[in-house]
Structure 1
């Protein structure tokens, strides 16, 4: 965090210098107040016939005309005090503006942008390991913890150290012995603060975890509101949120009570200093060893300011622990390794031809059990490969290695004969069109969603892609056609409509490689037929990988691979695999039986009619 603050060192120095000016003006005003009190005492002494003593302001090197009336002198002193007060108000305004520009307009905005930029570079593995609620909390609330460190910890610590030093030096210049006596409790305070800091930190860490769980529950409740209402679980969901919210409250109240007990203890120690001042300092005034105004009164003001700064130790300790716990979570993102990135000497290849080869590829998530094992496969440009397998067979993991969402833990994935890790990541991914199993649409217009990967696409290109995906007709029926703004995640559309927009989005890129992760799962048979009739033109000349389970889709492929437990257990055309006992034939038989039963039932109904 000090390294982060160093980037803004000029503004930090500006803030500290402004605070030093404010400190100087405050001390000047305090000194003039003491001078005024001493002058009043001097006037009274002269009136009562006391022995002449030096004019009190002479110690400042100022000689006023002897003809001045006491009221004139007091008005002059008061004028200077007022002038310093006005200057202090002006510099206080500059200080507030400067600190706001530093921590709110610069640091927080820049840090959020940096965290977001880092999130864009992290692989899917990071998002697999961290919940959405956790990431949102870090980008929003925890970034404020770093702001707190720079503002309320680092800058305030510098200001506190400088202020305490100046106060102590000034007090020592007035009377060293009184200074030592009044500040004797300071070491005790330092020991208490260190012990309390270590004691409170784990509780702040637990508080952050509870807040994160509450945010995660809230996010899941919003995303799963249909399921909650469908099963009539609104009451249980409310109770769960109230319980998590109460856990956060109880934890934070526990922290509050501990901090509330620590602050009075600090205040009590500083009040002891004032008792010492009244006793010892008052005796020094009576003995004539210390003047009343520029001595005891100024010393009392300095000690009060010193105690006020010391009282901030409790707040500072509290801020330190809050900022450390939150900032650690932010830096977990900033320091996370970028597992998938451009290697040195990457090959620029703006246009791919589409040859894909898996060379003894193995893959696992975080060193867990293997997801893919010894995958060997060569796909020529323009070939269409269908992938069949049960849930958990490794189909999606297989597909995710081609655009380098993950890198294989063993073997190589070669694109156009080049290891995918040696290609520029942007070139690789812009040459691949992807339709995921669950289509995600942004809260934007239909046209903007289709053109997401190609923002400069013309309206003609967008409509052409929509026609290929059999989406043009239903888009024209929307209220504003292609300019219709979709709801969050496209929830105003049906599953089939969302999937067709996702296909249009992929086709618009005119990619050399198409990855279709079961794109017809949410589409009825009639729409499926329309889509694949339209996709035949798009697939032609492009290497296509399609995860599918319907025979109507599998038949269209040039060849099929069947996966089980992360391995390819069968490969061949539909006709070839229908002749070989195995998983493919079993799946095909089940679908053919279902179709036969459906046909028989239909014929029976027609006969009864």
Structure 2
């Protein structure tokens, strides 16, 4: 039996989540195999009745045979019904387990931090959700159809053979044990081969994902032929790995089957000896040979099953590696004050290094933003602006230093002590590349506040100057956008993404160059309306905006200049124009 740490064994324990289906399926298979053993016994009784009836006359022999054949027909019909029900139950259970697995994988993928996603890539996660989950589902179904049923068949067959004579069962038992040992040794290498196949399949999925998501770039640079060649090369690697695994299975599987087949020879030879010695009836010998045929037939299927389980062991390991992964970012238990008011921000000697720890993105970075203030963050490409913004909702964590939220009046709270849901409700980040799901505009907006009414939606749209975007659409808020909002322009997506963030009523709003696609007039209107929120009762928000345009910087109360991972200067725009780096970044020279 596999150890409790075996991924495949852990997968079988998923049946605990559907206990009634498990019990019903097991009972159906058990009854079906009892009926199968009964069929073999009845064949022997019919043959024996024919042998005994020969001395009593043809009529007596016929009556005896018909009696046992009637029983045999009834048991065969019963077994057929049980097999159908058991097969259907196992398929339903397998589908339920597949659904359960995919739900867990999806929840885990959403739970894991960005660092995990960067290390493993979309292709690998898609493979584990599709190919690996399907292979594991097939193994869990075959557990019933092959492993569980085979165990019952072997047990019932050996029990009947032992009833006829102990030695008739002993030799086949030894041969079956030897065959299983050979299968298990081969399975370890099959697992290694399937891991290589899985890795190659990851690359195929990655190429496909990039080909779909990067279709605009591919078309712009006429890269269709090049990308097709890359994809074909990855598929070729996958095919070679898959062929190697299949070739190994086809070459090695027949040997254990031949070992099991030797049991039929033993039963025939030793059974004839028992018949001559008067210790076994001819009908019982016929039944014993039929059972030996069943064992050989089952052994032929064992090779396929072992390959399925070898694939499943590899897939199960990959799935449980994902499900067992712990997010690098864990929340605390603290909460923010309940009253809705803008939050200030402090960074104290914050340092962030790139994966591997070789390059500093932020280095001894300190800054302060007062509640309700609108602050622009300016820096060269690669200066660490987006990294700094990602620290606020803890999409990333600082390696050194602290980030604090709060105010001088209400006190300051370390981000690491806050619950993640509380933090991410209070701090909203709008990226430059706004992501919209393939759904209606209303559904996309309500992601931030599922219970928001139409009035709240209209208010958020108005502040983001996105109400005019909705007015131009034929179905208004019920308009369905394409994949990633492809049916909308960049500026429209940015305004809708801003409206979505505002619908959550954030107390700190971070705009990562999120107005870069807006014209200067629309951008000015957006910030004017954001400032107007301060006049509302309990409204308003602190705004930190990554800026690359002069028009954006001019909307800020104060500007921070980020150079080499730290704040090099800060002040109003007019004051920073004396700084050469600042002038060069905004093209003022």
Residue number in structure 2 paired with 1:573: 572
Q: Distance in 2 between matches of 1:297 and 1:348?
A: 81
Q: Is the CA contact (8 Å cut-off) linking 1:145 and 1:324 kept in structure 2?
A: no
Shift in CA distance, 418/245, structure 1 to aligned 2, threshold 3 Å: same
Q: Is the CA contact (8 Å cut-off) linking 1:103 and 1:151 kept in structure 2?
A: yes
Report which stretch shifted further, 262-271 or 136-145. Answer: 262-271
* 1:20 and 2:24 are equivalent in the alignment: no
Report the Cα offset of residue 181 of structure 1: 4.2
2:292 is matched with which residue: 288, 299, 303? Answer: 303
Alignment partner of 1:8: what SS?
A: helix
Report the Cα offset of residue 435 of structure 1: 1.3
Shift in CA distance, 386/348, structure 1 to aligned 2, threshold 3 Å: closer
- Pairing of 1:315-464 with structure 2 (within 5 A): 315-343=304-332, 345-347=333-335, 349-350=337-338, 351=340, 353-368=342-357, 369-416=359-406, 417-464=412-459
Alignment partner of 2:54: what SS?
A: helix
Q: Distance in 2 between matches of 1:194 and 1:113?
A: 32
**TM-score (structure 2 length as normaliser):** 0.90
* 1:160 and 2:150 are equivalent in the alignment: yes
Residue number in structure 1 paired with 2:582: 584
Residue number in structure 2 paired with 1:114: 104
Q: Distance in 1 between matches of 2:57 and 2:499?
A: 99
1:507 is matched with which residue: 502, 512, 530? Answer: 502
Residue number in structure 1 paired with 2:12: 5
Question: Per-residue CA shift, 1:369-400, capped at 9, x if unaligned?
Answer: 33222222221101111111112111111111
Residue number in structure 1 paired with 2:3: none
Q: Distance in 1 between matches of 2:423 and 2:171?
A: 73
* 1:38 and 2:48 are equivalent in the alignment: yes
Q: Distance in 2 between matches of 1:423 and 1:468?
A: 29
Report the Cα offset of residue 7 of structure 1: 4.7
Q: Distance in 2 between matches of 1:410 and 1:507?
A: 31
Question: Per-residue CA shift, 1:84-136, capped at 9, x if unaligned?
Answer: 1111122112212321232212x111221122112222111112212112112
- Pairing of 1:535-554 with structure 2 (within 5 A): 535-538=530-533, 541-554=540-553
Alignment partner of 1:413: what SS?
A: strand
Residue number in structure 1 paired with 2:87: 96
Residue number in structure 2 paired with 1:280: 270
Q: Distance in 2 between matches of 1:507 and 1:420?
A: 21
* 1:176 and 2:174 are equivalent in the alignment: no
Q: Is the CA contact (8 Å cut-off) linking 1:362 and 1:373 kept in structure 2?
A: yes
Report which stretch shifted further, 135-144 or 360-369. Answer: 360-369
Shift in CA distance, 88/349, structure 1 to aligned 2, threshold 3 Å: farther
Report the Cα offset of residue 310 of structure 1: 3.1
Shift in CA distance, 304/557, structure 1 to aligned 2, threshold 3 Å: same
Report the Cα offset of residue 205 of structure 1: 0.5
Q: Is the CA contact (8 Å cut-off) linking 2:11 and 2:316 kept in structure 1?
A: no
Q: Distance in 2 between matches of 1:353 and 1:521?
A: 24
Q: Is the CA contact (8 Å cut-off) linking 1:363 and 1:372 kept in structure 2?
A: yes
Q: Is the CA contact (8 Å cut-off) linking 1:352 and 1:431 kept in structure 2?
A: no
Shift in CA distance, 526/118, structure 1 to aligned 2, threshold 3 Å: same
Report the Cα offset of residue 349 of structure 1: 3.9
Q: Distance in 2 between matches of 1:227 and 1:307?
A: 58
Q: Is the CA contact (8 Å cut-off) linking 1:125 and 1:365 kept in structure 2?
A: no
Alignment partner of 2:443: what SS?
A: helix
Report which stretch shifted further, 308-317 or 209-218. Answer: 308-317
Shift in CA distance, 151/457, structure 1 to aligned 2, threshold 3 Å: same
Report the Cα offset of residue 5 of structure 1: 3.2
Report the Cα offset of residue 530 of structure 1: 4.1
* 1:220 and 2:219 are equivalent in the alignment: no
Alignment partner of 2:55: what SS?
A: helix
Report the Cα offset of residue 217 of structure 1: 0.7
Structure 1: state its 5+ residue gaps. Answer: 49-67, 594-609
Shift in CA distance, 536/349, structure 1 to aligned 2, threshold 3 Å: closer
Q: Is the CA contact (8 Å cut-off) linking 2:367 and 2:567 kept in structure 1?
A: no
Q: Distance in 2 between matches of 1:117 and 1:315?
A: 33
Alignment partner of 2:449: what SS?
A: coil
Report which stretch shifted further, 143-152 or 227-236. Answer: 143-152
Residue number in structure 1 paired with 2:71: 80
Alignment partner of 2:510: what SS?
A: strand
